[in-house]
Amino acid sequence: MQKAKIAGRTLAEWQAEQPLLQDVMATREVWWTNLAYASSVDGLPMKLGITDVEAADRRLRRFASYIAKVFPETQSTQGVIESPLQPVPRMQCELERLYHKKICGSLYAKYDSHLPIAGSIKARGGVYEVLKVAEELAMEHHLLKETDDYSVIDSEPFRRLYSGYSIAVGSTGNLGLSIGIISAKLGFKVTVHMSADAKEWKKSLLRAKGVCVVEHNADFSQAVAEGRAQAAKDARCHFIDDENSADLFLGYAVAALRLKQQLDEQQIVINEKRPLLVYLPCGVGGSPGGITFGLKLLFGDNVHCYFAEPTHAPAMLLGLMTGLHDEVSVQDFGVDNITAADGLAVGRPSGFVGKNVGSLICGVYTVEDDELYRMLALLAKTENVFLEPSALAGFTGPIRLPIAVEDAVHIAWATGGSMVPAEIMQSFYLQGTDLLQETP
Ligand SMILES: *Cc1c(COP(=O)(O)O)cnc(C)c1O
């Protein structure tokens, strides 16, 4: 329910200060430009920097031999969990045709939808944080040194150690999948607190892997809060805090190092004349926040990141716009947080991200669910890649961009979808093709 007063001010007062609020509250698509945008990572409130991101990358590399052993689908990348960066020229062409607008430069997709282990962007942050916990525990118990071959972790002594500890997380679905799968593989007891919008197939898949799934009749923020409260009672339980975790954030930030390498390999030059524009679907803000931070560290003024949210769940947008961060929810402004983009169905943004790296976000835009389905069908038709609705939020970014660029490398971050069961994907696709036909 919409509140009479939000942070001590009436709705009329907020609207006078932020005229865009009217459209946000009416769940119309908006583009918000961050007036506090500061390209530099200097002077951010938090202390993290490039050395932390590089250390996270090295930790993931230490685990590569283990990952390759227990997730054979990662053997082709020697246990490095990474996704392809691909030009999508046919998609670009169809977008231009559909919206009667030219996209200056080239459009690429970063297919985190096809990340191994979890089939979504959560295979970055989620897997990283659990591996860090596993490494620290093994070292404390003198089972592991940094110089060891980590494939030894796939053995009884390690499983016995981890079975004495538990991991807990609150999730709309995908984070639960990622944390559940990697934790269960290591041998941890693991509990996933699922919000009401989490899909049935995600819960069944986790239960089949021995994960304890607790269903909450509430949205993401409450599932997280309840998970946090339960975990706090148990000293041997590590709670993965999607709203506040620096480790999740660093796991996501590593993507920037990998992306830079891919751009170099594909001889895609980024400079003042050819900036990198990145469109990131945003839920609580951890994954787009971490990636934005990493990219800003590497590309500085030559990269600009835009967050994309559903019109019914503009959590980060409201947090940044009002400056209230995690002290405001979309419900406070009468927005319902009901969207087909379940990975983005978040009513309250991460305070960690908003406060620490909010200034690095160039803008936030919102997308209607129907538009996500249209993009889903369009990408399937043009590139033969099938994503889940959340993962399409980035694709209209280059069309919606209000500034004129002469040339740019546009990257739509395709955040999930490869694990969606075929019959569900087919229904997404049909919904999208229907909507496309209705479009004049
Ligand atoms: C979680 C998720 C996001 C957004 O990540 P946040 O860290 O919640 O902002 C985007 N797309 C998909 C498919 C997701 O699962």
Query: What is the whole-number distance in angstroms between the Cα of residue 138 and the centre of ligand 1?
Result: 30
Closest ligand 1 atom to 125 CA: 7
Take atom 8 of ligand 1 and give the residue whose Cα is closest. Answer: 283
Residue 82 placed within a domain:
yes
Query: Angle at Cα 242 formed by Cα 78 and Cα 290, nearest 5°?
Result: 60
Tokens in use for 164? Answer: 């004495």
pLDDT in tens, 198-249: 889 999 999 999 999 999 888 888 888 888 998 999 999 999 999 899 999 9
Tell whether ligand 1 has an atom less than 6 A from the beta carbon of residue 282. Answer: yes
Domain boundary among 246, 268, 293: 246
Tell whether ligand 1 has an atom less than 6 A from the beta carbon of residue 283. Answer: yes
Same-domain pairing of 236 and 220: yes
The total of structural domains in the chain comes to: 2
Spatial neighbors of 215 by CB under 8 A, at least 6 apart, are 194, 196, 198, 203
Which of the four pLDDT bands, split at 50, 70 and 90, describes residue 1? low
N- to C-terminal Cα distance for the chain? Answer: 36
Domain boundary among 224, 246, 268: 246
Tell whether ligand 1 has an atom less than 6 A from the beta carbon of residue 115. Answer: no
Lowest mean pLDDT of 189-198, 248-257, 377-386, 408-417, name the range.
189-198
Given a contact cutoff of 8 angstroms between Cβ atoms, the answer to whether 315 and 309 are in contact is: yes
Tell whether ligand 1 has an atom less than 6 A from the beta carbon of residue 313. Answer: no
Residue 59 placed within a domain:
no
Same-domain pairing of 395 and 290: yes
Residue 399 placed within a domain:
yes
Given a contact cutoff of 8 angstroms between Cβ atoms, the answer to whether 12 and 351 are in contact is: no
- In this model, does residue 440 exceed pLDDT 70? no
Same-domain pairing of 220 and 146: yes
Mark 202-234 as b/e (b = at least 16 C-beta within 10 Å).
bbebbeeeebebeebeebbbbbbbbbbebbeee
Question: Is the whole-model pTM more than 0.75?
Answer: yes
pLDDT in tens, 331-363: 999 999 999 999 999 999 999 999 999 999 999
Domain boundary among 205, 220, 246: 246
Same-domain pairing of 102 and 207: no
Same-domain pairing of 35 and 83: yes
- For a mutational test of ligand 1's pocket, the pick from 112, 120, 316, i.e. the residue with the most ligand atoms closer than 8 A to its C-beta, is 120
Residue 281 placed within a domain:
yes
Average pLDDT value for residue range 60-87? 97
Query: What is the whole-number distance in angstroms between the Cα of residue 8 and the centre of ligand 1?
Result: 31
Same-domain pairing of 340 and 298: yes
Same-domain pairing of 317 and 207: no
Same-domain pairing of 241 and 270: no
Tell whether ligand 1 has an atom less than 6 A from the beta carbon of residue 349. Answer: no
- List Cα–Cα distances, 340 to 100, 204, 289, 416, 428, in angstroms: 27, 19, 22, 14, 10
Residue 230, phi-psi category: left (phi > 0), alpha (psi -120 to 50), beta (remainder):
alpha
Domain of residue 381 covers: 5-46+75-117+253-438
So what's the pLDDT on residue 153? 98
Average pLDDT value for residue range 83-107? 97
So what's the pLDDT on residue 396? 97
Interstrand relation of 166-171 and 189-194 (parallel, antiparallel or unpaired): parallel
Residue length of the chain? 440
So what's the pLDDT on residue 96? 97
Same-domain pairing of 172 and 225: yes
Tokens in use for 335? Answer: 């927005």
Given a contact cutoff of 8 angstroms between Cβ atoms, the answer to whether 113 and 119 are in contact is: yes
pLDDT in tens, 409-432: 999 999 999 999 999 999 999 999
Closest ligand 1 atom to 388 CA: 13
DSSP 321-371: HHS-GGG--GGGGT-----S-GGG--SS--HHHHHHHGGGEEEEEEE-HHH
Residue 201, phi-psi category: left (phi > 0), alpha (psi -120 to 50), beta (remainder):
alpha
